[in-house]
Structure 1
Amino acid sequence: MKDNTNEHKEKGLLFQLDEEHYNELSSYLIEIKYKKNQFLLKEGDFCKHVGFLKKGVVRSYYLNDNGCEINFNFYFDNHLFSDYESFLCNMDSKINIQAMEDSDILLLSKHDLETLYQKEDYWREFGRKITGIMYFETKKRFEDLLYLSPEQRYNNLFSEYPKIFQSIALKHIASYLGIKPQSLSRIRSRSIKR
C-alpha cells in the first residue's frame, strides 16, 4: 500500500490543491537531491525555477562590496524559495542559493508555470499565491531588519526554528541577524540565563 503521508503534507502546503490539480502540478515538478554546499543558483545566473524544499536547509545570500557573505534568508522543510525578482523579470540574479545540508527539493520551471497559466484561471490564482508568499516573506525580512533589535530578531528566529543551531553555523546566523558572531554569543548567553 502506498504511503501518501508526504504527498498529503506537500499538497496541504502547496495551497490546498485538490487531487486533480495536485496530480497535474506533480507532472511538472522535478525532484532533485542537492548535496550539502551545492548551489541551486549563483549570482549572475537567471533564476529559472521556484523551489519547494521537501527536506533540508537552504540559504540565500549575497556578497557585499568587501566580498563578505551576507545571509538574506534560510529555508527549512516545506518552504518555497526562489530569487523571485530574477525569476519574474528574466534578469541576472544578485544572490546565491545554496544547500546547507543534503536537501530534497521540488522545482517548478518558469516555462512550466506559464504553461499552467494558459490552462485555466485556477493556475493563475496559484501563481498569485506564490507571488504573495514571496512578497510577504521578503517584506517581513526587511521589516525585521528595520524595526527589531538584534536580540528581538534572534528571539523570533529561535522561536520559529528552535533547531536552527543544529544545522546552521553561528557565523551564518550572525550574518543573517546583521551582527558579529561575538554579539550573537552574548545574546545567546543572556537568553540561556533567563
Structure 2
Amino acid sequence: MEDFVEIYLKSLQSFCPELKDQELDLFASKLNFLELKKKDIFLESGKVQKMLGFIAKGLVRSFYIDRHGNEITVGFYAEQDYATHYPAFVFQKPSHYTIQCLEPTTFACLSYDDIQSMYQQSHNIEKYGRLVAEEILIRQQERIESFIFQSAEERYLHFIKHHPGIFNRISLSHLCSFLGIERQTLTRIRQKLAHK
C-alpha cells in the first residue's frame, strides 16, 4: 500500500503546493485503504457516506435510479479523483446516489471526523478542503451548463476530449446515460463524425 500512499500524497501536493511535510504526514497517518471488486458498491443510495474515498487505482461511476427504475449515470471517477457525493458528505446526510466500481478499485479513505479534525489543526489542510470543494462546484456547474448550452454531439466531443483516459473503460450504455442520449443517437453521432 506504500505506493498508493505515495500516489495520494503527490496528488495532494500538486493540488495544494502549500502543504508542508508534517501536514502530508498527518494525512498519511489517517488513511485507511479499501479494495473493492468490479460491481461492488462504495456508497449506497440512502446511506450516509462516512469515508471520503480517493481513487488510488480503478474506476467508479455515480448513478441514481429514476422513477421509471432506470439507472442514470451522473459521473465517472478514475485514478487521482475522489468518489463522493460531496454535499451529502459535508452535511453527513443520506446520499441520493450510488457509487459502484466499474473495475477492481483501491480507495485511500479518510473519515469525516478525521477530516474535520485536520481542518482544525492546519490552515493549509483547510485550504486544501476548500480547493476540493471549489473543483467539485466547477464540475457540477459545467455539467449543468452542458445540458443547457451544448448539443448531444458537443457533449460527446467534450467528454472524449476531457476524459480520454476513461473513454475506452466504460460501457456505451453508461456513456449514453451520462450524456443524456439514446443509444441510437450516439450511433448516429459517431457515424457522422467518422465521415467528417
Question: Fold conserved (TM > 0.5)?
Answer: yes
Determine which of 72, 82, 85 is the counterpart of 1:83.
85
**What secondary structure does 1:40 align onto?**
strand
**What secondary structure does 1:27 align onto?**
helix
Determine which of 152, 163, 166 is the counterpart of 1:164.
166
Moved more, 175-184 or 44-53: 44-53
- Work out the CA distance in 1 between the residues paired with 2:131 and 2:169: 29
User: Which residue in 2 is equivalent to 1:185?
Assistant: 187
How much has 1:52 moved relative to structure 2?
1.4
**What secondary structure does 1:62 align onto?**
strand
Determine which of 61, 64, 71 is the counterpart of 2:63.
61
Instruction: Answer yes or no: is the 8 Å Cα contact 2:63–2:73 preserved in 1.
Output: yes
Moved more, 83-92 or 158-167: 158-167
> Which residue identity is paired with 2:126?
R
- Work out the CA distance in 2 between the residues paired with 1:180 and 1:5: 41
User: Which residue in 2 is equivalent to 1:133?
Assistant: 135
Moved over 4 A (4+): 2-5
- Work out the CA distance in 1 between the residues paired with 2:43 and 2:7: 26
* 1:104 matched to 2:121: no
How much has 1:78 moved relative to structure 2?
0.9
- Work out the CA distance in 1 between the residues paired with 2:135 and 2:99: 18
Q: Deviations over 1:4-51 (max 9, x none)?
A: 974664343452333221111111121222211111101100012222
Determine which of 17, 20, 27 is the counterpart of 1:18.
20
Instruction: Answer yes or no: is the 8 Å Cα contact 2:45–2:96 preserved in 1.
Output: yes
Any gaps of 5 or more consecutive residues in structure 1? none
- What is the aligned length? 193
CA 1:92–1:6 in 2, change beyond 3 Å: closer, same or farther? Answer: closer
Moved more, 37-46 or 135-144: 135-144
CA 1:14–1:24 in 2, change beyond 3 Å: closer, same or farther? Answer: farther
Any gaps of 5 or more consecutive residues in structure 2? none
> Which residue identity is paired with 2:46?
G
- Work out the CA distance in 2 between the residues paired with 1:5 and 1:83: 25
Sequence identity, in percent? Answer: 30
Moved more, 156-165 or 33-42: 156-165
Instruction: Answer yes or no: is the 8 Å Cα contact 1:58–1:74 preserved in 2.
Output: yes
- Work out the CA distance in 1 between the residues paired with 2:141 and 2:52: 18
With the length of structure 2 as denominator, give the TM-score of the two structures. Answer: 0.90
Instruction: Answer yes or no: is the 8 Å Cα contact 2:85–2:95 preserved in 1.
Output: yes
- Work out the CA distance in 1 between the residues paired with 2:14 and 2:68: 39
Q: CA RMSD in A?
A: 2.0
Instruction: Answer yes or no: is the 8 Å Cα contact 1:13–1:78 preserved in 2.
Output: no
